[in-house]
Each structure stands twice: as structure tokens, then as C-alpha cells.
Amino acid sequence: MLDDSLRKIGRYEILERVGRGGMGVLYRGRDTVLDREVAIKVMSGDFAEDETAHSRFFREAKAAARLQHRNVVTVFEFAEHDETPYIVMEFLRGRSLATRLKDGTPLKLPETLDIVIQLCAGLEFAHREGVIHRDVKPGNIWLCEDGTAKLLDFGIAKSAASTVTKAGDVMGSPSYMSPEQIGGRELDGRSDVFSAGVVLYELLSGRKPFEADSPTAVMMKIVQETARPLQELAPDVPPALAAATSHALEKDPDARYARAADFAADLQLVRLALEDGAGLDQSVLLAETMYAEDLRRQTGPSIAGATSLLTPPGGRRGIRGAEPVAPPALWRRPAVLGVAALVVLIVAALGTAMWWQKPPAIDDTSEPTAAPSALPAKEATLPPPAPVTPLTAEHPRALEITSDPPGAAIIVDGRDTHKVTPAEIPLEGSKRPRRVRLTKRSFEPRDVIVSDDVLQQGKLTVTLDPANTSPVTVDVAPASEGSYPFEVLDGSRVISAAATSHHLTVSGRRSLRLRAPEYFLDQSVTVDPASGRQAHFQAPGLGRLTVRTPLETCTVMIAGRSLGFPPIVNVPIAAGKYTVQLKCQSEPNRQAAVTISARQDSVEIIR
């Protein structure tokens, strides 16, 4: 094994050791050819001398190297130095999910959903490339400073086409292993879905679903016992979220989510309910319900049977668990929620904000084994908004806001005042400002909570810190399937012409736009030098949209672009959220919100 006195391995300069795990040592290094920071994982001597392990590492590492995805750590190279294998990866700044949970800071429910949805996105991509991770756990989920979650450590990953890992091999972390993994059976992506379900259960309840005094006893419970109902440990978890978690933890792989993308789709529905404040987007759900009702009238009285017609290939049954039947088309939208599930989601969303206050006590001593940083993640220090206190006669009638340097734009409670510092903001009636944001070019934005003391003084003074203007290399990968050309803009200026992928360099913090008008793509991504010298993004995949309406003389519009008169059938459109508008001459205009998922058909009915 390499010792700490080594200063170079291959073309990489060793800068410092940043971690040690069971399989080897992790170094921070520099690529002397490309002048970029890298992480170098050097295998231990015992591992390198094991011919079987050596062969498995290189064969399956090649499979991991194919995974170029925003939610998977990027692998640059596999090689040997003095017969010692090593792997070179992107160097990530942040910390593992396991470490994040140990600090006691509560994870809010939207954060939890976002992490697991990103985890599923990385898993889905890996599975499509024929790679099964087999060791999904908090220690192998890396949280970058920009909010991106990345899946780490494909050291025991198995290629679906590989025969190196024999049936009967049991590898992984016991608490997160699927029943079929424990049994040494052939695995597919559904095994990783089970592990992701364990992670979600743990994040929501603060406990693992299967606990015992020894690893063997834990594995016996996973195989033989049913997990304690999530809502017994966390009664305020939305029922739809508890149902999705239980679905991922089914013992039988055939009863589980068929794909990680299906699991993510149901979690996305819960997240949308939280974002809307009182339930799922009503226009979308109404259209889904009406479409299911139309199918019910056509096929019979069973709405569950009508819903199952929308089940995608692979037999996904969704939260409701309706039995799938053969879909009528290649692409199908995720299973439509029935009325009962809709009510559950809406009611659950109303009570969600009340429970997510206490941080779960996570006990995970596993270490991250790929691409960590020696630098701690920058944590947000902004406290929650102050409670609203009505203005009284004792308060000044205006708030004077100054900044050093002056000339910063003033945003109050999310509303642009169109004023720059120094300026006075009127305090109108009984309302009081709660949050002030100051922005100025070449300086970091600053958010300030307006306290009672500030209101009584009538003055707020803020010092702005200079922005980091270091160059950042930006890579934008093509959509995972169905790639298409798109351009990159800085504001309204095109900085990279239309292509299926982009490689460019920008200076300082930037909000870039990915745009492809033909597919309605206009997506913003943020590049921040504080998050590292490299930024990786991926264009969204394409879905299809069908718009149905009895108002056949109205024009269908999306993002100001006319699609013509209905019906609009199978229009390719980039994944994301959109507003569909009907512009009518003799009828009131109508609109509905729709969420497009990659490789899925979305049907919107507007009446």
C-alpha cells in the first residue's frame, strides 16, 4: 500500500490524505495535466493482493466509469501504481448524509424528499446502464454545498452483465440490504430501491426499519419480519409518503417499485403537495381524475381498472397498488392517483408542516468511501422568519436601509422594491417586513431577518462581502435518453451555441439558462465558485404532452407559444412544470398546470 510520504501517483500530485476506510485511503490531489482538483482512492494492500477482488474491482469499476450523471460521483480514471490499484474521481466539497445527520441539525421534510428523489435519479441512471450499486446507505450519499446529492462508492457495484460476482456472494451493509441480497440471489435495480426505502424510513423516523443486536440478527429480521409501520414512529408523516416508503420495502421484488424512477415519481407527488401548501396542484389532479372518469365510462365501473391502463411498462402499481395491465402505448404516465389517494395527499399536506421539527437521532458510523472533501460544508446560518408583530405607534413609519458598499438592490419579503441602498422603505399600516435581501453585482447576496429591535430603531445596516470571482468549469451533459440540442445563455446572451452537451468556463457566481425553444426548455442553473472549480449539470429528458378539451375553437398555448387548435397529441417537451393555457374568443380563457416527466406520456384535460 502507498505510504503517506508519497507525493505523486501517475500524473496526479498528492496534496493531502483526507480519509481512510476499510478498502483503502483517500487523498486530495491535483491532475498536473488538466490542472484540476481530484480525489484519489488507493486500494489497501490486502485488497490489491487478492486476485479475485482485483479482477472484480477492474471489471466492475469500468461499469461505474460509464455513469456520467449529476447524482453520481464522476470517475475519471482507473489505474495501477507499483501494482496497487487506484481510482481517480471528482473532488466534492460537502459531507455525507450520515455526517449531516449526526450534527443534530434537523432535516426538514422537503429536504429529505429532495435528497431521496435525487438518490433515485442517480440509481435510475445507473440501472439503465446495467449497474447495480448494492451498498446504498447514508454514508454513501454525498451532499454537495449546492444542494446536489451524489451517490458514492461503486466499489462493490455489480454490472448486470457481469459474471464475476457469483450468485451466493453477500456484500453490502446489513441494515440496508434487500432480502434477495441477503439470500445471495440474482439482483436487479429493485434491490437498490429497497435500500433507498430503508434510507427514507430512517430519515423520516430516526430509526432503521430493522434493528437488532448483531448484523446476523438484523439480516434475519429483514428476511422474515415486516418493518414496524412508519406512522407508529412518526405519526405525522403524510400517509401517502408512508405508503410509498412501505411500497419500496416490500419483501418480494415483484411487489416493490419496478424502477427507482417510479419511487421518485411518488415522492415528487408528495413534494408537490408540500410546495403548493394545501395539496397537489389541483388543475393537474382534476385533469387526471376526469381522464380516469372518462376511461371508467368507456371500460366499466371500476375506476381502479381505468387507472391501471395508465400503468407504465414494468408493472408499476404506484401508491394505490392497483394491479397493472398491458399499456396501450410505449410511453405511459405514472399511475394516476385515484380519488382516495388524492384525498390522502391533500389532507396529509395540510398537517405536514407541524411535525418536522425534531431532528431524528441517526446512528450510522459508516464512513464515506469516495470523493469527500477536507473542507466542511458551508451551512446556512439564516434563522427562521421572526413571528409577525403588528406595527404600533411606537414604531417608525419607515425603515432606513443602508449597505456597505451602497448601491445594493433591496428586496423585501420576496418583492423587488426597485430601490437601491441607501433608501427608506415605508412601513404600511399594520404590516411589517420580515425578510430583507440585498443584492449587488460582484458581491454576495445577503439575507437579513428584520427583528423588533431593528423596527424600533427604524434602521438596518448591512455589510456585503465580495463575491468569489474564480473561474468555474461547467459541464452540461445531454439528457440520459433522447438527447437534443440546446443552448446555454448568461442572462440574454448566448455563451454556448446549440449542442447536445456543453463544456465552458465562467467567472464568479452565475445563473445560466439552458434553452431549447423547440422543446419548451428554459431552465436556470446556478454556478457558484464556493461550491468548487467544476459544476456538472444535465439537460432534462423529453416527455410527451397530449391536451384534450371540448373547446375545439380555442388556441392551446405553452410559455407564450401557440400549439394550434386541440386536440394536441404527443408533443415532445422537456421534463418540468408548465402552464397550459386555452386562449378563447367566445369563452373565458382557461389554464392548467402540468408536470412533464422524462419518457412519460402526460394527458391534460381542460374543460
Which residues, other chains included, contact 272 with Cβ-Cβ below 8 Å and sequence gap of 6+? 280, 281, 595
pLDDT of the residue at 150: 92
pLDDT of residue 47: 61
pLDDT per residue over 390-400, tens digit each?
Answer: 545 556 788 99
Which of the residue ranges 265-269, 341-345, 354-358, 560-564 has the most confident prediction, judged by mean pLDDT? Answer: 265-269
Q: What does the pLDDT look like over 115-136, one tens digit per residue?
A: 999 999 999 988 988 888 888 9
Run of H or E including 284: helix 282-299
Banded model confidence at residue 173, pLDDT cuts 50, 70, 90: confident
**425, 434, 427, 436: which is closest to 462 by C-alpha?**
436
Residue 337 has pLDDT above 80, yes or no: no
DSSP 547-591: EE-S-TTSEEEETTEEEESSPEEEEEEESEEEEEEEE-SSS--EE
Which CATH fold would you assign to the domain 542-605?
Answer: Immunoglobulin-like (2.60.40)
pLDDT of residue 168: 42
Smallest CA-to-CA distance from 256 within 329, 178, 202 is with: 178
Segment 561-580 mean pLDDT: 89
Considering the chain, what percentage of its residues have pLDDT values greater than 70?
72
Q: What was the pLDDT predicted at 199? A: 97
Q: What is the pLDDT of residue 486?
A: 92
Q: Is the pLDDT at 340 greater than 50, yes or no?
A: no
8-90 and 471-538 share one CATH topology? Answer: no
Q: How confident is the model at residue 299 (pLDDT cuts 50, 70, 90)?
A: very low
Position 352 confidence tier, pLDDT thresholds 50, 70, 90: very low
Task: Mention the CATH class of domain 471-538.
Answer: mainly beta
Average pLDDT, the chain: 76
Q: Highest mean pLDDT: which of 40-54, 294-308, 418-432, 491-505?
A: 491-505
| Residues 145, 171: Cα–Cα separation, whole Å | 31
Q: Given this model, what pLDDT does residue 56 score?
A: 61
Look up the CATH number of domain 8-90: 3.30.200.20
Say if residues 141 and 151 touch (Cβ distance below 8 Å): yes
User: Residue 514 has what pLDDT?
Assistant: 94
Q: What pLDDT is stored for residue 171 in this prediction?
A: 55
Look at residue 575 and tell me whether its pLDDT is greater than 90: yes
The cell numbers describing 400, all together, are 432606513
SS3 (DSSP) at 199: helix
pLDDT at 386 over 90: no
Q: Which of 51-65, 238-252, 411-425 is least confident?
A: 51-65
What does DSSP assign to residue 448?
A: E
Determine the pLDDT at residue 353. Answer: 32
Mean pLDDT for the stretch of residues 217-243: 91
Nearest-angstrom CA–CA distance, 12 and 276: 49
Q: For the chain, what are the domain ranges?
A: 8-90, 95-162+172-289, 398-461, 471-538, 542-605
Q: Sign of torsion, CA 146 148 149 153?
A: negative
- Contacts for 446-450: CB closer than 8 Å, 24+ residues apart: 446/403, 446/408, 447/382, 449/382, 449/383, 449/385, 449/386, 450/386, 450/399
23-66 per-position pLDDT tens digit: 678 899 999 888 889 999 887 766 656 666 666 666 556 666 77
Q: Which pLDDT score is estimated for 349?
A: 35
Residue 135 falls in the annotated catalytic set: yes
pLDDT higher at 64 or 308: 64
- Residue 5: predicted pLDDT: 60
DSSP 3-state of 398: strand
pLDDT attached to residue 93: 86
Residue type, 155: G
**Quick check: 239 and 350 in contact, CB under 8 A?**
no
Q: Which of 53-62, 91-100, 252-261, 412-421 has the lowest mean pLDDT?
A: 53-62
Contacts 24+ apart (CB under 8 A), 253-256: 253/178, 253/180, 253/188, 253/190, 253/191, 253/194, 254/315, 256/190, 256/193, 256/194
Q: Which fold has domain 95-162+172-289?
A: Transferase(Phosphotransferase); domain 1 (1.10.510)
Helices of type H across 131-188: 179-182
Residue-level pLDDT at 471: 85
Active-site entry in 3, 50, 114, 135: 135
Per the listing, cell 466492475 goes with 60
The pLDDT-based confidence of 370 (bands split at 50, 70, 90) is very low
Residue 403 has pLDDT above 60, yes or no: yes
Q: Taking residues 202-215, what's their average pLDDT?
A: 92
